[in-house]
């Protein structure tokens, strides 16, 4: 679904940063004092005063003190929101990803909350070797995002190296040795930045696993896992693989927040949620959600570009009144259902198309019509209401619109949103 390989031949990060300008309960306990007042030994007047004891008669024993009432239990503090953990405002965050350069953001005075970067490939020519020393690409991308006032998001996209849907690779000793080495390196480099970071683990892969798992059982899909020293106790199947991805993150990048991206691909939200639950995706920090990964107009033209072909007969342009199919409300309901299965984790929408609304179907490369930016940023409370904490916009192909081809739509709409932002739901 996310055929992004055409976008992934990005320029190597320069060693010198080309960075944009930087931006960015207490609980009191009170104790009541108990004061004891001593008398002179003379009895006070009044009918309630006890008579003095007879001479030589011992006083009666004092009644036992009443037991102190048990202290009221202190409720645990609510967990911090993911925004608080990231050190960002408690509102819906808006980000940009592939195809949108920081220099172009700066020139349009766009200051996104999140900047997404792909980490692609396994072995020779893959992301660890784009800069020196190995893995420095993560270091530079993190620094550039920080300089732009954004939280870095890394999308790990290594599983497609031997072809999308090729599940045999995860049980190949040579491939997985390199795969795990690079995952560890990614987390080590993220940890070394000592800054909050988002990580999106292997888009599409989990959809292919669901499709290929016998009887929908991920434990029947073998994978090389226990060879990883940190994951020696995990099963050698895809459930162990998912859990090892989390274990390495918790070990080397404690400030990172990690999410899995389920793929619906025509399945109902409950069954997809339950499959991800078997993988242990509820132990992550957030859920990665999607709408579609191409501008609607790219799939409307005839013939469509190769990267937009094979998507069916449509309609592709979403109905903003939420009456006709497809529409935005349906997508929100699907993700709300999946979220309820996965422990109500917060949601991050990712790789959301950036085309401009139009009554005329189609368009041209870079200028295909779409209305996701318009609808989502003008109806933000619909998203925060179901637990969405951020939306990252970017195209999933080389023909997709971006901030240099959208006529300034994103810059205008984002600015208008910031004037009246949507607070996170509580």
Contact partners, residue 298, CB within 8 Å, separation at least 6: 304, 305, 307, 308, 363, 365, 368, 397, 399, 400
In order of 51, 122, 149, 258, 346, the CA distances from 23 in angstroms are 79, 35, 5, 24, 25
Average confidence (pLDDT) over 163-178: 95
Q: Is the dihedral of CA 281, 8, 111, 19 positive or negative?
A: positive
Cβ atoms of 2 and 288 closer than 8 Å? no
pLDDT band at 425 (very low <50, low <70, confident <90, very high): confident
pLDDT tens-digit profile of 248-262?
A: 999 999 999 999 999
Task: Report d(CA 49, CA 45) in Å as an integer.
Answer: 7
3-state secondary structure the chain: CCCCHHHCCCCCCCCCCCCCCCCCCCCCCCCCCCCCCCCCCCCCCCCCCCCCCCCCCCCCCCCCCCCCCCCCCCCCCCCCCHHHHHCCCCECEEEECCCCCHHHHHHCCCCCCEEEEEEECCCCCCHHHCCCCCCHHHHHHHHHHHHCCCEEEEEEECHHHHCCCCHHHHHCHHHHHHHHHHHHHHHHHHHHHCCCEEEEECCCHHHHHHHHCHHHCHHHCECCCCCCHHHCCCCCEHHHHHHHHHHHHHHHCCCEEEEECCCCCCCCHHHHHHHHHHHCHHHCCEEEECCCCCCHHHHHCCCCCHHHCCCCCCCCCCECCCCCCCEHHHHHHHHHHHHHHCCCCCEEEEEECCCECCCCCCCCCCCCECCHHHHHHHCHHHHHCCCEEEEEECCCCCCCCCCCCCCCHHHHHHHHHHHCCCECCC
The whole-number pLDDT of residue 51 equals 41
How many CA atoms lie less than 13 Å away from 356 in the CB half-sphere?
18
The contacts of residue 104 (CB under 8 Å, 6+ apart) are 402, 403, 404
Range scoring the smallest mean pLDDT among 49-58, 70-79, 402-411: 49-58
| pLDDT reading at 170 higher than 80 | yes
Asked if pLDDT for residue 43 goes beyond 50, the answer is no
Return the residue matching tokens 């016998």: 214
Evaluate if residue 24 carries a pLDDT over 90: no
- Count other Cβ atoms within 10 Å, centred on residue 145: 26
| Residue that the structure tokens 């399945």 belong to | 267
Pairing of strands 286-289, 256-260: parallel
- Tokens standing for residue 291: 């709408």
Determine contact, residues 403/104, Cβ cutoff 8 Å.
yes
Place of tokens 């992004």: 4
Q: Rg of the chain's alpha carbons, rounded to an integer?
A: 29
Q: Is the pLDDT of residue 109 over 70?
A: yes
Higher pLDDT pick, 157 / 56:
157
Query: How many other CB atoms are found less than 10 A from the CB of residue 123?
Result: 15
pLDDT, residue 49, reads: 38
State how far the Cα of 120 lies from the Cα of 186, in Å rounded to an integer: 11
Average pLDDT, rounded, for the chain: 87
Domain 5-11+79-419 has CATH 3.30.70.2860: no
Cα 365 to Cα 396: distance, rounded to the nearest angstrom = 13
- Note the pLDDT tens digit of each residue in 112-152: 999 999 999 999 999 999 999 999 999 999 999 999 999 99
Q: What is the pLDDT of residue 33?
A: 34
Please tell me the distance from the alpha carbon of residue 148 to that of residue 115, in angstroms, as a whole number.
9
* Euclidean distance between CA atoms 263 and 210, whole angstroms: 9
Judge contact between 8 and 130, C-beta under 8 A: no
* Mean pLDDT of the region 266-290: 97
pLDDT surpasses 80 at 172: yes
Q: For residues 3-31, give the mean pLDDT.
A: 36
According to the model, what pLDDT value does residue 38 have? Answer: 37
Residue with tokens 């979403």: 318
The tens digit of pLDDT for each residue in 310-363 reads: 999 999 999 999 999 999 999 999 999 999 999 999 999 999 999 999 999 999
58 burial level (CB within 10 Å; 0-12, 13-18, 19+): exposed
Give the C-alpha separation, 311 to 309, whole Å. 6
Would the pLDDT of 183 be above 90?
A: yes
Residue 39 pLDDT class (50, 70, 90 cuts): very low
Query: Which stretch of 5-14, 227-236, 304-313 has the lowest confidence by average pLDDT?
Result: 5-14
pLDDT above 80 for 34: no
* Residue ranges covered by each domain of the chain: 5-11+79-419
For residues 287 and 331, what is the distance between their CA atoms, to the nearest angstrom? 14
For residue 383, pLDDT beyond 60: yes
Question: What are the pLDDT digits (tens) for 207-258?
Answer: 999 999 999 999 999 999 999 999 999 999 999 999 999 999 999 999 999 9
Question: Model's pTM, two decimal places?
Answer: 0.83
Task: Answer whether residue 16 shows pLDDT above 50.
Answer: no
């Amino acid at each position: 679904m996310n055929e992004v390989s055409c976008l992934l031949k990005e320029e190597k990060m320069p060693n010198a940063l080309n960075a944009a300008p930087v931006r960015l309960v207490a609980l009191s306990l009170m104790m009541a004092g108990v004061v004891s007042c001593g008398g002179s030994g003379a009895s006070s007047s009044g009918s309630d005063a006890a008579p003095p004891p007879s001479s030589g008669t011992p006083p009666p024993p004092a009644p036992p003190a009443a037991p102190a009432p048990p202290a009221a239990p202190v409720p645990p503090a609510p967990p911090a929101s993911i925004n608080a953990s990231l050190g960002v405002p408690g509102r819906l965050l808006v980000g940009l990803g592939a195809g949108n350069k920081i220099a172009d953001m700066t020139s349009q005075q766009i200051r996104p909350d999140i900047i997404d970067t792909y980490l692609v490939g396994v072995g020779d020519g893959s992301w660890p070797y784009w800069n020196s020393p190995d893995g420095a690409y993560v270091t530079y991308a993190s620094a550039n995002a920080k300089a732009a006032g954004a939280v870095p998001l890394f999308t790990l996209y290594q599983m497609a190296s031997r072809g999308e849907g090729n599940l045999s690779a995860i049980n190949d000793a040579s491939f997985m040795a390199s795969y795990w080495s690079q995952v560890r390196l990614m987390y080590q480099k993220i940890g070394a930045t000592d800054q909050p970071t988002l990580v999106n683990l292997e888009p599409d892969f989990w959809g292919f696993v669901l499709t290929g798992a016998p009887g929908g059982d991920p434990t029947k899909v073998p994978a090389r896992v226990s060879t990883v020293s940190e994951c020696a106790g995990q099963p050698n199947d895809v459930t162990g693989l998912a859990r090892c991805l989390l274990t390495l993150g918790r070990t080397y990048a404690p400030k990172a927040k990690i999410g899995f991206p389920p793929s619906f691909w025509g399945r109902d939200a409950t069954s997809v949620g339950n499959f991800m639950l078997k993988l242990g995706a509820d132990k992550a920090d957030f859920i990665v959600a999607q709408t579609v990964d191409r501008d609607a107009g790219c799939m409307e033209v005839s013939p469509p570009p190769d990267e937009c072909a094979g998507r069916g007969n449509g309609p592709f342009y979403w109905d903003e009144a939420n009456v006709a199919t497809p529409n935005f409300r349906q997508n929100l309901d699907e993700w709300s259902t999946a979220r309820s299965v996965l422990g109500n984790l917060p949601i991050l929408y990712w790789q959301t198309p950036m085309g401009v609304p139009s009554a005329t179907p189609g368009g041209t490369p870079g200028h295909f019509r779409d209305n996701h930016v318009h609808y989502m940023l003008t109806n933000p409370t619909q998203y925060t209401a179901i637990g969405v904490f951020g939306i990252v916009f970017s195209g999933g192909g080389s023909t997709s619109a971006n901030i240099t081809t959208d006529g300034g739509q994103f810059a205008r709409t984002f600015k208008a949103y910031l004037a009246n932002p949507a607070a996170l739901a509580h």
